[in-house]
């Protein structure tokens, strides 16, 4: 069938005209398939099996069939076109030695990655048959439907499952089917088989002798307690005001974590009293996100992330971006919203994550591909590596295989581990290791082969020697002072390390933009080329899984990556 005829049939369907339109159909010989099997006529009645799980993942309890009237937000990720060409271009523009370094791509330039329009239209036509008006944007279809409709769309049985670890209830299925004519187009269906309730809550303590905020003066060093001023001294972070108001650092918030302005005010008045006018953050919402300001709604993670970014970027623009979709789907929708912007933030700091195995490889790849696109747009995506050492997001007693975390394991993010002390040592909690989903990217070949050599046969068989190694870098992550619900408390976690590192990147960008240059964008090829810009951390380890964990060593290691930031050397390396 010609393309024109195909389009006409689609239009007819869109207009709600029955397929049995009075088109003269030539008589068919007996062996010819029935009309619905004629190539090009969409047959939405045939299904092929999609991905499936053999059993309910550990730590989840099946609470039975989901109520059919419950509304779920659906995201369907479509297979992108020309992606390999794009990745080659990304590595070229991220290579500091290339003439094309920093030549970031526009939103329009990335449109070549979108699936063929015909296929998108076919998917929209299928959804129309269920009276669904889906939104299409950059390779994703999104819509809200009842569980009842979802059951029919994917011939699947959706259940409610509760995580025994986080207590979150999620609606998922163990398998689903996809309409045959769309099977090649649909890469991921969410909610589907990903049992991916978000992990990562920084550990809090009532801060014994929390001098900093009570005595109204920051401690002179990071030894007893970390504050923005001790980080400025430790890493050489400048104190002079940021000058580029359009330079945005975006801080996502999930899990009903809300960033409180009063807590921020209290924090700044004690830790950065000279920062006048006293800066704050702007807010942005997606998928039902919000940011209520009643003091008891404040969240530790949201307060930590906003206090350390606002406290370090010296009046630069920090944005708190809240989503109520507490799963990888929430990350995907958020990333897609950044990609749709003409001027996306130049840095994103994510302190939420998953054990990699909680997420299916297809879904992990789908989000990772968005991070690659963000890198190409000039966005540095900074991610906490997790707080469970070699055990993943949280420490574990028994794990024959070490547990990598995601999105830290995505090769297109910069994963940040944690250190402790003035003479910095790798922090026990600092997650690190090797991905089981993503192969080792070229940019870290030399660094990681060196580390594998130093490991020798240690833990052989417990990690994937060919996987993407993480973290890439590190920053302080223990005894971090924050203000929370009007009190000074202390928190531990790579949840702190990520916003600290992200702030350093935002300040380098401030200088680049002041000189009319481009922001750093996808960082990793550059930082592995310029290892000397970091303070190499060679002591400490990340115990879990009944082991001492990986050792920090001279050079790259899976506890502290390349090391912690040295602002002066970083700035000199980019020439600002
Ligand atoms: C689905 O509903 C949520 C609120 O419950 C809303 O934020 C979101 O934008 C809706 N999604 C679509 C695609 O309409």
Tell me which long-range contacts 117-122 makes (C-beta under 8 A, separation of at least 24): 118/3, 118/6, 118/7, 118/10, 119/78, 119/182, 119/185, 120/78, 121/10, 122/10, 122/42, 122/181, 122/182, 122/185
pLDDT level of residue 198 (50, 70, 90 thresholds): confident
Average pLDDT of the residues in 234-239: 96
Q: What is the pLDDT of residue 41?
A: 67
pLDDT level of residue 39 (50, 70, 90 thresholds): low
Total of domains in the chain? 2
Same domain, 325 and 185: no
Closest protein CA for atom 6 of ligand 1? 287
CA of 143 to the centre of ligand 1 (A): 7
Same domain, 181 and 322: no
Same domain, 131 and 237: no
Residue 34 lies in a domain: no
**What distances in angstroms separate CA 376 from CA 49, 95, 523, one per listed residue?**
35, 12, 10
Average pLDDT of the residues in 180-204: 88
Q: What is the largest CA-CA distance in the chain?
A: 92
Average pLDDT of the residues in 203-228: 60
Q: What is the pLDDT of residue 10?
A: 32
Q: What is the pLDDT of residue 1?
A: 31
Same domain, 254 and 177: no
Whether residue 136 is predicted with pLDDT greater than 60 in this model: the reply is yes
Query: Among 23-32, 115-124, 140-149, which stretch is predicted with the lowest mean pLDDT?
Result: 23-32
67 within ligand 1 shell (Cβ under 6 A): no
Phi first, then psi: give them for residue 36, nearest 5 degrees: -65, -15
Same domain, 412 and 529: yes
Residue 163 · residue 198 · CB < 8 Å: no
DSSP state of 391: G
- Structure confidence by residue, pLDDT tens digits, 536-566: 999 999 999 999 999 999 999 999 999 999 9
Which residues participate in catalysis according to the annotation? 301, 305, 495
Ligand 1 site-directed mutation target among 127, 171, 288, 321, most atoms within 8 Å of CB: 288
Whether residue 31 is predicted with pLDDT greater than 90 in this model: the reply is no
- As a whole-number percent, the residues of the chain with pLDDT over 70 amount to 89
Residue 161 lies in a domain: yes
Mean pLDDT of the chain: 90
Q: What is the pLDDT of residue 543?
A: 96
Closest protein CA for atom 4 of ligand 1? 288
Whether residue 407 is predicted with pLDDT greater than 70 in this model: the reply is yes
**What distances in angstroms separate CA 78 from CA 185, 190, 227, 472, one per listed residue?**
5, 12, 44, 30
pLDDT level of residue 35 (50, 70, 90 thresholds): very low
Residue 406 to residue 438: CA distance in whole angstroms: 10
Residue 492 annotated as binding site: no
CA torsion sign for 122, 123, 129, 133 is: negative
Same domain, 154 and 276: no
Same domain, 186 and 235: no
Q: What is the pLDDT of residue 224?
A: 80
- Structure confidence by residue, pLDDT tens digits, 54-90: 999 988 999 999 999 999 999 999 999 999 999 999 9
Whether residue 237 is predicted with pLDDT greater than 70 in this model: the reply is yes
287 within ligand 1 shell (Cβ under 6 A): yes
144 within ligand 1 shell (Cβ under 6 A): yes
Query: Among 38-47, 100-109, 398-407, which stretch is predicted with the lowest mean pLDDT?
Result: 38-47
Whether residue 11 is predicted with pLDDT greater than 80 in this model: the reply is no
- Residue 534's domain is classified under what CATH number? 3.40.50.200
pLDDT level of residue 9 (50, 70, 90 thresholds): very low
337 within ligand 1 shell (Cβ under 6 A): no
pLDDT level of residue 205 (50, 70, 90 thresholds): low
CA of 120 to the centre of ligand 1 (A): 20
Same domain, 472 and 366: yes
With tokens 């990793």, the residue in question is 524
74 within ligand 1 shell (Cβ under 6 A): no
Residue 523 to residue 158: CA distance in whole angstroms: 40
- Structure confidence by residue, pLDDT tens digits, 297-350: 999 999 999 999 999 999 999 999 999 999 999 999 999 999 999 999 999 999
Tokens encoding 393: 């997001």
CA of 293 to the centre of ligand 1 (A): 23
DSSP state of 216: T
Ligand 1 atom showing the smallest separation from residue 142 Cα: 13
Residue 559 lies in a domain: yes
- My answer on whether omega of the bond before 338 falls inside 30° of 0, hence cis, is no
pLDDT level of residue 23 (50, 70, 90 thresholds): very low
Residue 180: closest CA among 3, 39, 43: 43
Return the SS3 of 309. helix
Average pLDDT of the residues in 167-177: 95
Closest protein CA for atom 7 of ligand 1? 287
Residue 211 lies in a domain: no
CA of 145 to the centre of ligand 1 (A): 10
Residue 316 annotated as binding site: no
- The alpha helices in 465-523, defined as continuous H runs, are 494-514
Same domain, 162 and 297: no
Residue 192 · residue 77 · CB < 8 Å: no
Residue 25 lies in a domain: no
pTM as predicted: 0.91
Residue 27 lies in a domain: no
pLDDT level of residue 219 (50, 70, 90 thresholds): low
Q: What's the chain's Rg over C-alpha atoms?
A: 25
Residue 95 annotated as binding site: no
Which is higher by pLDDT, 197 or 194?
194
CA of 322 to the centre of ligand 1 (A): 14
Q: Domain span at residue 441?
A: 229-574
CA of 363 to the centre of ligand 1 (A): 20
Same domain, 351 and 234: yes
Tell me whether residue 401 is exposed, middle or buried, using C-beta atoms within 10 angstroms of its C-beta: 0 to 12, 13 to 18, 19 or more.
Answer: middle
Query: Among 211-215, 225-229, 264-268, 389-393, which stretch is predicted with the lowest mean pLDDT?
Result: 211-215
Whether residue 30 is predicted with pLDDT greater than 60 in this model: the reply is no
142 within ligand 1 shell (Cβ under 6 A): yes
Residue 557 annotated as binding site: yes
Q: What is the pLDDT of residue 201?
A: 64
Residue 281 lies in a domain: yes
Same domain, 367 and 288: yes
- The alpha helices in 530-574, defined as continuous H runs, are 567-574
Closest protein CA for atom 8 of ligand 1? 287
Residue 319 lies in a domain: yes
The answer for 521, left when phi > 0, alpha when psi is -120 to 50, beta otherwise, is left
Ligand 1 site-directed mutation target among 70, 71, 72, 73, most atoms within 8 Å of CB: 73
Whether residue 20 is predicted with pLDDT greater than 70 in this model: the reply is no
356 within ligand 1 shell (Cβ under 6 A): no
Same domain, 177 and 258: no
Whether residue 450 is predicted with pLDDT greater than 90 in this model: the reply is yes
């Amino acid at each position: 069938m010609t393309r024109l005829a195909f389009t006409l049939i689609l239009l007819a369907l869109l207009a709600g005209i029955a397929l049995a339109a009075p088109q003269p159909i030539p008589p068919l010989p007996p062996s010819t398939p029935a009309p619905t099997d004629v190539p090009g006529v969409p047959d939405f009645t045939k299904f092929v099996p999609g991905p499936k799980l053999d059993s309910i993942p550990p730590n989840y309890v099946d609470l039975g069939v989901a109520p059919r009237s419950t509304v779920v937000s659906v995201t369907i990720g479509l297979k992108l076109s020309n992606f390999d060409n794009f990745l080659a271009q990304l590595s070229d523009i991220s290579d500091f030695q290339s003439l094309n370094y920093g030549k970031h791509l526009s939103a329009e330039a990335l449109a070549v990655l979108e699936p063929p329009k015909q296929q998108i239209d076919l998917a929209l036509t299928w959804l129309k048959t269920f009276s669904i008006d889906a939104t299409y944007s950059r390779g994703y279809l999104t819509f809200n439907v009842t569980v009842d409709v979802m059951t029919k769309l994917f011939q699947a049985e959706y259940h409610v499952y509760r995580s025994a670890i986080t207590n979150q209830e999620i609606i998922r299925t163990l398998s689903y089917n996809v309409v045959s004519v769309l099977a090649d187009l649909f890469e991921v269906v969410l909610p589907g088989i990903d049992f991916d309730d978000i992990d990562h809550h920084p550990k809090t303590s009532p801060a014994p002798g929390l001098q900093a905020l009570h005595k109204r003066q920051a401690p002179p060093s990071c030894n007893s307690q970390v504050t923005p001023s001790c980080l400025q001294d430790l890493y050489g972070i400048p104190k002079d005001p940021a000058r580029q108001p359009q330079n945005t650092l975006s801080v996502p918030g999930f899990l009903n974590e809300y960033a409180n302005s009063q807590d921020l005010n209290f924090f700044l008045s004690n830790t950065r009293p000279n920062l006048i006018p006293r800066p704050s953050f702007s807010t942005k919402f997606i998928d039902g996100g919000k940011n209520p300001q009643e003091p008891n709604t404040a969240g530790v993670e949201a307060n930590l992330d906003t206090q350390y970014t606002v406290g370090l970027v010296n009046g630069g623009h920090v944005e708190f971006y809240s989503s109520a979709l507490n799963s990888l789907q929430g990350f995907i929708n958020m990333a897609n919203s950044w990609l749709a912007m003409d001027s996306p933030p130049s840095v994103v700091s994510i302190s939420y994550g998953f054990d990699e195995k909680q997420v299916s490889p297809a879904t992990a790849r789908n989000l990772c591909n968005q991070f690659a696109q963000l890198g190409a747009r000039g966005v540095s995506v900074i991610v906490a590596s997790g707080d469970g050492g070699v055990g993943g997001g949280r420490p574990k007693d028994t794990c024959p295989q070490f547990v990598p975390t995601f999105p830290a394991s995505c090769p297109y993010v910069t994963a940040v581990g944690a250190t402790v002390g003035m003479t910095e040592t790798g922090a026990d909690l600092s997650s690190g290791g090797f991905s089981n989903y993503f192969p080792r990217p070229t940019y870290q070949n030399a660094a990681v082969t060196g580390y594998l050599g130093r490991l020798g046969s240690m833990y052989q068989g417990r990690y994937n020697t060919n996987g993407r190694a993480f973290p890439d870098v590190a920053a302080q992550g223990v005894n971090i002072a924050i203000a929370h619900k009007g009190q000074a408390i202390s928190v531990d976690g790579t949840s702190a390390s990520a916003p600290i590192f992200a702030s350093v990147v935002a300040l380098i960008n401030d200088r680049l933009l002041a000189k009319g240059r481009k922001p750093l964008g996808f960082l990793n090829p550059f930082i592995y080329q310029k290892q000397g810009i970091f303070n190499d951390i060679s002591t400490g380890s990340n115990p879990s899984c009944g082991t001492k964990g990986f050792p920090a060593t001279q050079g790259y290691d899976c506890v502290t990556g390349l090391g912690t930031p040295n602002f002066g050397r970083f700035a000199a390396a980019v020439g600002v």
